[in-house]
């Protein structure tokens, strides 16, 4: 099954860096938007498997976007990763209260963000496969 990852960042170089890193993932479709209102439109359309967002967005903040995304997801689990240059020392605590799965302060490693996303979506990167899994079945 193809996972749909929504990237939200108004800084085009940051969004492009993440997009390039995520293209290495197998069976992932990407949507990239530059503000919270566009992100909500994509989320309302349904089918988003994970949200990767900045906090400092035009229109609505990343915090508000995460709150609304959680409401839209309802009882289903929507993994959320935050990549942000937010300097407020209370940010990590606020994100924890919102149930964010990972927080990467800028500057960050796009490869580390991709690795965390792969873990959350339970997908493998064909260029960096995990160790082989043993075949299912009874032990000899």
Question: Please, what are the domains in the chain?
Answer: 3-121 (3.40.50.2300)
* Residue that is written with structure tokens 């969004």 in the block: 15
Alpha helices, DSSP H only, in the chain? 12-22, 36-45, 62-73, 91-97, 110-121
Q: How confident is the model at residue 134 (pLDDT cuts 50, 70, 90)?
A: very low
Q: How confident is the model at residue 140 (pLDDT cuts 50, 70, 90)?
A: very low
Determine the Cα–Cα distance for residues 56 and 59; give it in Å rounded to an integer.
9
Comparing 17-21, 40-44, 94-98, 125-129, which segment has the lowest mean pLDDT? 125-129
Average pLDDT rounded to a whole number, residues 88-104 = 95
Average pLDDT rounded to a whole number, residues 16-36 = 94
Q: Which residues, at least 6 apart from 94, have a Cβ–Cβ distance to it below 8 Å?
A: 63
Q: How confident is the model at residue 92 (pLDDT cuts 50, 70, 90)?
A: very high
Q: How confident is the model at residue 123 (pLDDT cuts 50, 70, 90)?
A: confident
What pTM was computed for the model?
0.87
Average pLDDT rounded to a whole number, residues 26-36 = 95
Using the predicted structure, report yes or no on whether residue 49 has a pLDDT greater than 90: yes
């Amino acid at each position: 099954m193809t996972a749909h990852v929504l990237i939200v960042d108004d800084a085009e170089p940051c969004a492009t860096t993440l997009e390039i890193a995520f293209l290495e993932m197998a069976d992932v479709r990407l949507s990239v938007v530059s503000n919270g209102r566009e992100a909500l439109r994509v989320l309302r359309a349904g089918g988003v498997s994970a949200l990767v967002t900045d906090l400092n967005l035009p229109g609505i903040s990343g915090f508000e976007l995460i709150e609304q995304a959680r409401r839209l997801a309802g009882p289903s689990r929507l993994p959320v990763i935050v990549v942000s240059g937010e300097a407020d020392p209370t940010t990590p605590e606020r994100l924890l209260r919102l149930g964010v799965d990972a927080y990467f302060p800028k500057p960050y490693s796009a490869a580390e963000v991709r690795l965390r996303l792969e873990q959350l979506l339970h997908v493998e990167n064909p260029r960096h496969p995990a160790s082989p899994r043993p075949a299912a079945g009874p032990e000899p």
